[in-house]
Structure 1
């Protein structure tokens, strides 16, 4: 006869919007990284010319809009979604983390309906990084090729007197006030650097997240990956944690 701790119970954890965000976000991040790599290595790939450069940036931006919209919807869902989608579930104290680390050291297998403490840290860092990437990406879209929401503001600022801001074209100084462009340039460059290094940091976080999930799936709590598809988790331990 199975002991109580071995009785398996199934819990509904990740609601449909949370699961859609997760997989759509993964797809869009992969696409953005792919296009971004092409942009970084244009000369090596034999891609030359201003038109090709602009088209690649426009493709990156269009995918980025989808990424930003998906992220915005997830941020909103954190206030109105189910219990495990809400931001409150990501909060934990030092004692929670200490107990989890001690349990792991003692080869115990603590069961969590939602994220374990390490998972919560990972999700917080990933979401903050995604937000920084989204904001800086929109800034660069507006200052590089004058796409919304900051493109119109940028064109109005750098346009010479009596020049229609809408006539300002990407990488074309015709009608541009050089002094104002020089003022804008350092901020544009800073946004670009923050964007790029945030992407590098995101890649590191994703790798650590994948390793953590795989280790947890194998050693501690099977079904973590499938739960992000079905929305349900089955726990064997009666000593479950929210």
Structure 2
């Protein structure tokens, strides 16, 4: 297919860019993150919506944790795929460089419209920040799962640590200090609190990143490179002219 201009003919070519694992991660990650945020909001405002009682509190945390495990598995697969996937899925290919970002922004200011098969320089920066934030959310979430309701991977070790002398660690229950060494529990609480604070504000930051990411993608789709949204469904990009990262 070609587009005629007054001076020459500019070729439009289809490129295979996002492989299937990358696309599955992207949409599954979105679904899981939204699910976690929804359950998290219920946890934060449970009293206001009439959810009371310890069993309900623990049940919500267990649901949040189970979804969190799926989120963590999906993220870890993507992190591994960042070293094994095609060239556009690999992290080495998507390292943002300050000089490239400056050059890209300068070209846009001058009215240019540079085309990329993969992420443009600003897109690479966005992916890096989002992936780091997701990883921080995963790590702090697993810490809280272990310290709140004694779920893996830290739960068993924690109950062994806080169990009072002569008490079977498996008998320790969430939000119940029966059989717990209170001095050891006091040692754990500041770390538990720190993990919870970092987790919460990392999620707030992720919400901001999602808004910025969606806004940036829409602007890029409308003004600079049509088809970047459909490419995350099909895996293909249709580019007019010669892409800079061919």
Scaled by the length of structure 1, what TM-score is found?
0.97
Residue 233 (structure 2) pairs with residue 219 (structure 1):
no
After superposition, residues 147-186 of structure 1 pair within 5 angstroms as 147-186=151-190
Mapped contact 1:158–1:181 kept (Cα < 8 A)? yes
Cα offsets for 1:90-114 (capped at 9, x unmatched): 1243221121001110121110100
Equivalent-residue separation in structure 2 for 1:40 and 1:21 (angstroms): 28
| Equivalent position SS for 1:84 | coil
Scaled by the length of structure 2, what TM-score is found?
0.96
Mapped contact 1:5–1:238 kept (Cα < 8 A)? no
Q: 1:88 aligns with which of 81, 86, 92?
A: 92
User: Unaligned 5+ residue runs, structure 2?
Assistant: none
Mapped contact 2:115–2:243 kept (Cα < 8 A)? yes
Residue 68 (structure 2) pairs with residue 64 (structure 1):
yes
Pick 1 or 2: higher relative contact order, CA cutoff 8 A, min separation 6. 1
Change (3 A) 1:187 1:205: same
Equivalent-residue separation in structure 1 for 2:78 and 2:84 (angstroms): 10
Q: How many residues were matched structurally?
A: 242
Mapped contact 1:5–1:237 kept (Cα < 8 A)? no
2:106 aligned residue: 102
Cα offsets for 1:95-134 (capped at 9, x unmatched): 2112100111012111010001111111000000000000
Residue 148 (structure 2) pairs with residue 144 (structure 1):
yes
> Considering only aligned residues, what root-mean-square deviation do their CA atoms show, in Å?
1.2
Range with bigger deviation, 232-241 or 29-38: 232-241
Mapped contact 2:95–2:125 kept (Cα < 8 A)? no
Mapped contact 2:96–2:122 kept (Cα < 8 A)? no
User: Unaligned 5+ residue runs, structure 1?
Assistant: none
Mapped contact 2:58–2:149 kept (Cα < 8 A)? yes
Q: 1:2 aligns with which of 1, 4, 29?
A: 4
CA displacement at 1:189 relative to structure 2 = 0.2
Change (3 A) 1:102 1:183: same
1:31 aligned residue: 35
